[in-house]
Amino acid sequence: MRVGIIGAGQLARMLLESASALGLEVTILAEHPDDAAALTAHNVIIGTPKDPEALAALADVVDVITFDHELVDLDLLEELESAGTVRVAPSPAALICAVDKVAMRTHLAGHDLPMPDFLAIEPGSAFSFDDLGGRFGWPMVVKAARGGYDGRGVFVVDNVDDARTVINRLHGEGTTALIEEHVVIVSELAALVCRDSAGIIVSWPVVETAQIDGVCREVLVPGNVSDAQRQEGENIALAVADIVKNVGIMAVELFATERGLLINELAMRPHNSGHWTQDGSVTSQFENHLRAVAGLPMGAPSMTATHVACINVFGGPDALDPFHSLHDALGVSGAHIHLYGKEPRPGRKLGHVTVTGDDPDEIRHAGWAAAISLGTVMPDELKRETR
Amino acid sequence: MRVGIIGAGQLARMLLESASALGLEVTILAEHPDDAAALTAHNVIIGTPKDPEALAALADVVDVITFDHELVDLDLLEELESAGTVRVAPSPAALICAVDKVAMRTHLAGHDLPMPDFLAIEPGSAFSFDDLGGRFGWPMVVKAARGGYDGRGVFVVDNVDDARTVINRLHGEGTTALIEEHVVIVSELAALVCRDSAGIIVSWPVVETAQIDGVCREVLVPGNVSDAQRQEGENIALAVADIVKNVGIMAVELFATERGLLINELAMRPHNSGHWTQDGSVTSQFENHLRAVAGLPMGAPSMTATHVACINVFGGPDALDPFHSLHDALGVSGAHIHLYGKEPRPGRKLGHVTVTGDDPDEIRHAGWAAAISLGTVMPDELKRETR
């Protein structure tokens, strides 16, 4: 079975590690030869995911195409799928809910799923800022329908002037603006599921994530997630997967609020909130994504430890290569370290550390100790001894 | 850190999976472009390990060289090491004990380690078959000092005529014959350790292996290994590592006999008896081998389950590709499947299945069910319901 992956970041790199064991032959479509996965893959095509020729070259040598990221051209993917020579998993019809935030809200609306109130405003359409203010109040959230990630493309605006500036800028770029109710977030959770083409879904435990400026810094399993939240989050993710009919991994980012969980965003590829599954679950998200995409039965999502902490490694202000402090980091007992081979830059995501165990504080501290020794700066917001 | 691997079999392929996570840049010296690791590696040099030019090309692009197999030229490796531009781990001075069975017996003799009685007979040297018979009795074991693996190069001879035939053939090939006492084997065990350049050694639990015609078919952890055997086996392996001063993994194959454990052979690379560590240990043999070779601290060798069964997958008589039955095999609950991407041939080792759990019979049956569905024929000797 030959699998093509669009994009060559760390997700593709970690998919390659699992693909090797399954005997899958993988070809990567990489924008640059020094992308994380392009450094380890045997088969690399250099090109952008929006270039029809590069996509055709990939489709020529694989049986199924899947994704490292969602910055893709859905029309091109639909053409590929229609041509019938290659499968696309998840299919463009599902993937749109991860590519386009307006499509996601619209698609899920009417299914009795908990979401913030929202309104899509296309470029050139008529609307009144007073009506917006009346409906959503201030502050409100304005999002670019497409193209944002890691907090980019999301704006909290406090008044009409700021809203006008942001919406006009998005419209000037030809982008639909998604207006969302600003909700008071008690905590952020993520539910991870994997669905196969027959509609079977496996579901990992719901996790607590810490997002600083829209970027995931740590994932705690189960973290501060109540049994009720775990059940609610899992039910939401199962319902969403049933509706959008994705094949492969889907992460549902959730806001925990005073009125319960609300769906924030969807991702349809291995997700940062699921990296812990490599070292803390019977089957990792990477392996199950490949198994689902390749038409193979999925493995058990059960935990292999009672608690797991996964801490992201970012380039520090001096942009030192974390590899050079790997000796110290591996000296932290129990630390499983995953580096992405990316050129270090301040603030760039360069790896993650996973620690499993029985004591949630102990493993969280160990994870941070290793991440800090790799150059990560711990955000003040996360400096707490215990919950 | 740039690591070179001599040889491109499944061991190199699985080292690549671990190297990716550690951010190590690996180059493989492969004899053939379709070798297991050559199919997945980003950096491949095609050449044989006994070709000075191929070795020099590898040494040019890496910081340290390690091994997928022991069919190497120690003189060439010593020259490389002496030149000082690249490290060799394990060093040729240690590796000789895995390359040359006579060197191993001679090196370990006098250290009060339990071994069968032995005698090395070089080509052209004078000896009497009657003396041999008097010393070792019949049957006795004749081994090629170098070049054998998976049972090849090992002969049990019953009389002077057979001994003469085998020894003459070895001598005719320029190979020293190692004569060993034939011991009655109650069971076969293996002890696995990893030693770093500072002399620190980590040790996994001793395992029971089932060898049919010299080929490992299943590994049970702990299997039928008593606490005393476990301790004795571990002590032997630690002592051997202290003596030979290998860097990286060393497997010590052991015979359990009526007079206790006896050292059979050494391997200084990830070993089939340690594949279970990928799915049943906090740190796999592949990761720790790389960590030791790269000068990084090693991780914990503790088990993540009470019992582990690891069953080898071999090509069946019809030589079907096990990938085609991967769907069925992955349907076996709890089966972790590792395929090597090798072209199927009857009897060729094509992968392994690992299952972890609390019930040793249950996981053994599950492992065999998956291996059989991948085309493996279960040897009659292993058809037993319980111990």
Quote the DSSP letter at residue A342: P
Q: Are B369 and B318 in contact (CB under 8 A)?
A: no
Cβ–Cβ gap B21/A22 under 8 Å: no
DSSP string for B36-79:
TTTTT-SEEEE--TT-HHHHHHHHHT-SEEEES-S---HHHHHH
Taking the domains of chain B in order of start, what are their residue ranges? Answer: 2-88, 117-181, 187-382
B299 neighbourhood in chain A, CB within 8 Å: 330, 336
Nearest CB neighbour to A297, from listed B296, B327, B334: B327
Copy the structure tokens of residue B305.
């389950």
CA B260 to chain centre: 22
Q: How would you write the pLDDT of chain B (387 residues) with one tens digit per residue?
A: 999 999 999 999 999 999 999 999 999 999 999 999 999 999 999 999 999 999 999 999 999 999 999 999 999 999 999 999 899 999 999 999 999 999 999 999 989 999 999 999 999 998 898 899 999 999 999 999 998 666 678 999 999 999 999 999 999 999 999 999 999 999 999 999 999 999 999 999 999 999 998 899 999 999 999 999 999 999 999 999 999 999 999 999 999 999 999 999 999 999 999 999 999 999 999 999 999 999 999 999 999 999 999 999 999 999 899 999 999 999 999 999 999 999 999 999 999 999 999 999 999 999 999 999 999 999 999 997 554
As assigned by CATH, the class of the A2-88 domain is alpha beta
CB A250 within 8 A of CB A233: no
The residue ranges of DSSP E strands in chain B, in sequence order, are: 2-6, 25-30, 43-46, 64-67, 87-88, 118-121, 140-144, 154-157, 177-181, 187-195, 201-203, 207-212, 215-221, 248-257, 260-267, 307-314, 336-339, 349-357
| Sign of the dihedral through C-alpha B172, B177, B181, B182 | negative
Q: How far apart are CA A230 and CA A236, in angstroms?
A: 10
Burial class (CB in 10 A: 0-12, 13-18, 19+), A243: middle
Residues 6+ apart with CB under 8 A from B352: B272, B275, B310, B311, B312, B313, B338, B371
Q: Judge contact between B29 and B90, C-beta under 8 A.
A: no
Distance in angstroms (rounded) separating the CA atoms of residues B209 and B233: 13
Contact at 8 Å (CB) between B44 and B31?
Answer: no
* Cα of A192 to nearest chain B Cα, Å: 20
Res B20: pLDDT: 98
Assigned CATH topology for domain B117-181: Dna Ligase; domain 1 (3.30.1490)
Counting Cβ atoms within 10 Å, is residue A128 exposed (0-12), middle (13-18) or buried (19+)? exposed
Residue in A282, A295, A330 nearest the CB of B299 = A330
Q: In chain A, what residues touch B300 (CB-CB under 8 Å)? A: 333-334
b/e sequence B292-324, b meaning 16+ C-beta within 10 Å: bbbbbbbbebebbbebbbbbbbbbbeeeebbbe
Cβ of B39 within 8 Å of Cβ of A39? The answer is no
Chain B CA closest to residue A18: B17
CA-closest candidate to residue B342, choices B370, B375, B387: B375
* Residue B106 burial (C-beta neighbours within 10 Å; 0-12, 13-18, 19+): middle
Task: Indicate whether this complex's ipTM tops 0.90.
Answer: yes
pLDDT digits (tens, 9 = 90+) for A309-339: 999 999 999 989 999 999 999 999 999 999 9
Residue A246 contacts by C-beta under 8 Å, 6 or more apart in sequence? Answer: A90, A94, A95, A97, A195, A268
For A295, nearest residue in chain B (alpha carbons)? B327
Contact between A43 and A53 (Cβ < 8 Å): no
Contact at CB, A22 and B322, closer than 8 angstroms: no
Q: Please give the Cα distance from A121 to B321 (Å, whole number).
A: 54
Radius of gyration for chain A, computed over Cα atoms and rounded to the nearest angstrom = 20
Report chain A residues whose CB lies below 8 A from the CB of B20: 13-14, 16-17, 40, 341
Tell me how close the Cα of A42 comes to any Cα of chain B, in angstroms: 4
**Any residues with CB less than 8 A from the CB of A160 and at least 6 apart, and which?**
A129, A130, A133
Candidate from A17, A42, A340 with C-beta closest to B17: A17
Work out the burial of residue A381: count CB atoms within 10 Å of its CB; fewer than 13 is exposed, 13-18 middle, 19 or more buried. exposed
pLDDT 10s digits, A231-286: 999 999 999 999 999 999 999 999 999 999 999 999 999 999 999 999 999 999 99
Residues 6+ apart with CB under 8 A from B60: none
Q: What is the pTM of this model?
A: 0.96
- The answer to whether residues A273 and A219 touch, using CB atoms and an 8 Å cutoff, is yes
Distance CA A356, CA A280 (A): 6
- Distance from C-alpha of A83 to C-alpha of A127, rounded to nearest angstrom: 40
User: DSSP 3-state helix, strand, coil percentages of chain B (rounded to 5)?
Assistant: 35, 30, 40
CATH architecture of B187-382: 2-Layer Sandwich (3.30)
Query: Considering CB atoms only, which of B17, B330, B338 is closest to A296?
Result: B330
Which residue in the set A22, A39, A327 is minimally distant from B296, CB to CB? A327
